[in-house]
């Protein structure tokens, strides 16, 4: 609160700071105070000061995907490094992988004359038979058998979870959920993505598996943390026995978001500020015509400031850590769907006209 020595000529904010000096501080940072008097949304740059990040370029934030594996049927897919049969994690009982758009028979999203693609979602633009065939191709690539049942869900950015069994495969109307888990061998759990983040989890001791779909809404609703909690209840999973892989999705390089998201995340996570980055995009127009953008301000204080980007992969890694997984048990395999739009379907990069990838996990029958 204001103390008695504060000059009357100055108005004073609730926390005792002189508003004029706040204004001066903001001007120095190239900002003006929000006159609605609402602290949220005013001072993003000030609020982000002290967070772990520095200002970065898109290139500095880009993390490429590994080179895909090419199955005998032509499907290109990404296993988790170290989760193969010879891997140190003792995961020979697991089936798992992230699809790409390469391989397959879809024609809906490629140029005329280009090779068919691996759209795995029953989207309006694509032919149902082509998608069904692609799903068999992916099952064959990952399990060696095109008839391995695939359990999908109707995703709606929730934290709803289902316990899946083979009877849930090939349903006309799959369950509405954003995560699924099972301890039943012989089926593949699958989540669709085309920018959102897929997360696969396996319990090495109890032999249970889970797959989660995490866009920003599901992430705020803690789909992954909730899911690990549910694995404890259903299967007796202990976090120290779990391994997890975060698959390709839109990277912090490309995921420019509205400032409201910072408030949403701050209301839920004490580490929220670590998840946001200020990114300076290289703007070809500004580079070519710098005179158009000259201002009275000092360099670096342009009113056309950096954009706020969200690192959804890191957000979900933090949820896995919060759920008790060891840092060494979590892999983020990389790949930005928007930067690598030739390899992945991206809702953003293709303005909504995109196919879907599937991220799958299952228990190999013994």
CB nearer to Zn ion: give 227 or 251: 251
Residue 108 CB burial class (10 angstroms; 0-12, 13-18, ≥19) = middle
SS3 content of the chain, % helix, strand, coil (to 5): 25, 20, 55
Q: What is the C-alpha to C-alpha distance for residues 225 and 24, in angstroms, rounded to an integer?
A: 42
**How far, CA to CA in Å, does 224 sit from each of 22, 182, 219?**
39, 15, 7
What is the rounded (10 degree) CA torsion for 141, 144, 150, 155? -30
Please, what is the minimum distance in Å from the beta carbon of residue 347 to Zn ion?
13
Please, what is the minimum distance in Å from the beta carbon of residue 59 to Zn ion?
9
Please, what is the minimum distance in Å from the beta carbon of residue 100 to Zn ion?
15
Q: Which residues bind Zn ion (CB under 5 A)?
A: 251, 253-254, 336, 338-339
CB nearer to Zn ion: give 323 or 343: 343
CB nearer to Zn ion: give 23 or 60: 60
Q: What is the DSSP letter of 176?
A: B
Q: What is the C-alpha to C-alpha distance for residues 310 and 325, in angstroms, rounded to an integer?
A: 22
CB nearer to Zn ion: give 179 or 335: 335
Residue 4 CB coordination number (10 Å) = 4
Scan for tokens 């594996």, then name that residue: 69
Residue 228's closest CA among 218, 239, 243? 239
CB nearer to Zn ion: give 214 or 339: 339
Residue 161's closest CA among 96, 217, 211? 211
Q: What is the C-alpha to C-alpha distance for residues 293 and 39, in angstroms, rounded to an integer?
A: 29
* Residue 286 structure tokens: 């500004």
Please, what is the minimum distance in Å from the beta carbon of residue 350 to Zn ion?
14
Burial track 97-107 (b if 16+ CB lie within 10 A, e otherwise): bbbbbbbbbbb
Please, what is the minimum distance in Å from the beta carbon of residue 312 to Zn ion?
12
CB nearer to Zn ion: give 244 or 253: 253
Q: What is the DSSP letter of 256?
A: B
Q: What is the C-alpha to C-alpha distance for residues 162 and 279, in angstroms, rounded to an integer?
A: 37
Please, what is the minimum distance in Å from the beta carbon of residue 338 to Zn ion?
5
CB nearer to Zn ion: give 197 or 253: 253
Please, what is the minimum distance in Å from the beta carbon of residue 140 to Zn ion?
30
Please, what is the minimum distance in Å from the beta carbon of residue 23 to Zn ion?
36
CB nearer to Zn ion: give 141 or 253: 253
CB nearer to Zn ion: give 130 or 279: 279
Please, what is the minimum distance in Å from the beta carbon of residue 280 to Zn ion?
14
Residue 94 CB coordination number (10 Å) = 24
Residue 177's closest CA among 193, 161, 191? 161
Q: What is the C-alpha to C-alpha distance for residues 77 and 68, in angstroms, rounded to an integer?
A: 5
């Amino acid at each position: 609160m204001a103390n008695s020595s504060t000059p009357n000529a100055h108005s004073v904010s609730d926390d005792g700071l002189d508003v004029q000096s706040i204004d001066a501080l903001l001007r120095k940072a190239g900002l003006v105070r929000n006159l609605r008097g609402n602290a949220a949304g005013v001072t993003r740059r000030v609020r982000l000061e002290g967070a772990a990040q520095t200002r970065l370029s898109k290139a500095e934030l880009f993390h490429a995907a590994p080179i895909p594996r090419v199955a005998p049927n032509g499907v290109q897919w990404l296993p988790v490094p170290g989760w193969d049969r010879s891997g140190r994690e003792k995961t020979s009982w697991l089936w798992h992988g992230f699809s790409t758009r390469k391989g397959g028979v879809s024609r809906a999203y490629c140029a005329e004359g280009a090779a068919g693609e691996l759209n795995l979602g029953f989207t309006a633009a694509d032919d149902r038979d082509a998608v069904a065939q692609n799903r068999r191709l992916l099952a064959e690539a990952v399990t060696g058998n095109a008839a391995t049942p695939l359990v999908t869900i109707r995703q709606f950015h929730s934290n709803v979870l289902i316990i899946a069994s083979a009877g849930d495969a090939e349903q006309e109307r799959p369950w509405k959920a954003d995560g699924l888990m099972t301890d039943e061998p012989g089926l593949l759990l699958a989540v669709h993505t085309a920018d959102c983040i897929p997360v696969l989890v396996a319990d090495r001791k109890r032999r249970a598996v889970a797959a989660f779909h995490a866009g920003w809404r599901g992430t705020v609703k803690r789909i992954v943390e909730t899911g690990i909690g549910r694995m404890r209840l259903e299967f007796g999973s202990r976090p120290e026995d779990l391994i997890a892989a975060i698959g390709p999705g839109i990277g912090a390089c490309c995921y420019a978001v509205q400032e409201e998201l910072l408030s949403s995340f701050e209301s839920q996570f004490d580490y929220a500020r670590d998840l946001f980055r200020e990114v300076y995009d290289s703007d070809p127009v500004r580079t070519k015509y710098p005179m158009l953008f000259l201002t009275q301000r000092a360099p670096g204080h342009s009113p056309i400031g950096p954009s706020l980007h969200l690192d959804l992969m890191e957000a979900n890694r933090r949820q896995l850590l919060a759920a008790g997984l060891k840092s060494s048990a979590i892999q983020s395999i990389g790949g930005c769907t928007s930067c690598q739009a030739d390899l992945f379907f991206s809702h953003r990069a293709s303005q909504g006209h995109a196919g879907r990838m599937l991220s799958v996990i299952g228990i190999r029958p013994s």
